[in-house]
Amino acid sequence: MSDEETEEQTGGLVVDDDQDELQEEMSLEDRKTRLQRARWNVFLYLGVAAILFFFALFPMPFSAQYDGFTSSAEKDIGLVWGLPIDGEDIFDVPVKITVVATKVPSETNVNIGVFLINAENCQSNLGDFTEEARNGDSHQHQFIMTDESIIPEGEYEFNFRIDPGHYCVIVEYFDANGMKTGASDDGLSVSGKVYPNQFFGGFAGFICLCLSSFAFIGAQRHGKAMRAVLEGANESLEKQVLASVNSGPSGPPPSSPAAGPSGPPESGPDGERTLATPSSDGEHATDAALHSDTPEVEATFVPAENGYFFRQFADGTYDQTVYFKDDSGEYQPYQP
């Protein structure tokens, strides 16, 4: 059955080396696409994580000024959101309040106290809440006072951690006995920052950072695989030839005429033997020429690899038959 008939019976589906090369090129292009996507994912998740961390660290600012009528600075900072978990924990919202004593009361040993009261209406009477805050019995109402006497134009910071809710800030002067003091002409300025997005933004940013790390690991894996493919494709012809030579021949050379050498070797054997030129009738004519008493044309045996020999005629041409030496030292044609 001919090749054309076989192709017609199989519907013209012929598998050759071109399709293998095409499959390898498609695989390489696919690896390049995956590597590019993985790298873009790394930068994408890093960018989103940076935005979320900035959002987590971005505060809600507020400020308040001293009121001579109440001898205090009060501010309704509104709703502070967060995880609704009561009590002191890692999910509390940080609040940072900075107070500058612009004009201190004339009394000695004056301190500054800051109340942070959880109340819906900051205009209502908060006396009970402030007393509870000074006693320190509640996490909903907090109070912090300076440890030492303040100085004019001194700047003092107060750090709170509170649960979500609606809060009011009250800043007042206190004397050495812990009683409220201050005149209408005294003064202080208050500025504060609330960080309600610290947990949400930080947690989401951490997730994006982890996704970026996984994308980076995937990009490294795709890059390593693509480098291996490229290094295999760029292997030099010299290395391939050396690998083929180092592996050695798998058997003796074939005896067909096409298997003979195309030119003379670099050097001949130390001892060359002359024989008669064979006739064109084949192997019987060759054997007769070897044992003939009257050789027509002298020839020499040139050694090849693996103990085989080629016969060179006087005119420089080569016989295509491969020879070997038998136990008696005679040259015999190789028969596979």
Are 301 and 310 within 8 A, CB to CB? yes
Q: Structure tokens of 59?
A: 């505060």
The residue among 196, 222, 244 that closes a domain is 196
Asked if residue 259 is part of any domain, the answer here is no
The DSSP bridge pattern shows strands 180-181 and 187-194 to be unpaired
Beta bridge partners of 64: 190
Domain boundary among 196, 213, 240: 196
Same domain (yes/no): 79, 185: yes
Residue 152, domain extent: 59-196
pLDDT value of position 234: 52
Whether residues 71 and 180 fall in one domain: yes
Pick the range with the lowest mean pLDDT from 154-168, 175-189, 221-235: 221-235
Q: How far apart are CA 324 and CA 308, in angstroms?
A: 5
Whether residue 82 is found in the same domain as residue 180: yes
13-34 pLDDT tens trace: 444 455 444 444 546 777 778 7
Q: Are residue 63 and residue 186 in the same domain, yes or no?
A: yes
pLDDT in tens, 291-308: 444 445 567 888 877 778
| 24 part of a folded domain | no
On whether residue 251 sits in a domain, the answer given is no
Domain tally for the chain?
2
Position 305 in a domain: yes
Q: Which residue has the higher pLDDT, 121 or 306?
A: 121
Highest mean pLDDT among 34-38, 196-200, 270-274: 196-200
Confidence grade of residue 57 (pLDDT, cut at 50, 70, 90): confident
Task: Please give the backbone phi and psi of residue 228, each rounded to the nearest 5 degrees, phi first.
Answer: -65, -40
Q: Which of 234, 112, 227 is nearest to 173 (CA)?
A: 112
Inside any domain, residue 104: yes
> Is position 140 within any domain?
yes
Burial of 94 from C-beta contacts in 10 A (0-12 / 13-18 / 19+): middle
Query: Are β-strands 299-303 and 274-275 bridged in parallel, bridged antiparallel, or unpaired?
Result: antiparallel
User: In Å, how far are 19, 41, 180 from 136, measured between CA atoms?
Assistant: 81, 49, 18
**Residue where a domain terminates, one of 196, 228, 245:** 196
In a domain, 8, yes or no: no
**283, 164: one domain:** no
Q: What is the pTM of this model?
A: 0.53
183 and 68 together in one domain: yes
In a domain, 254, yes or no: no
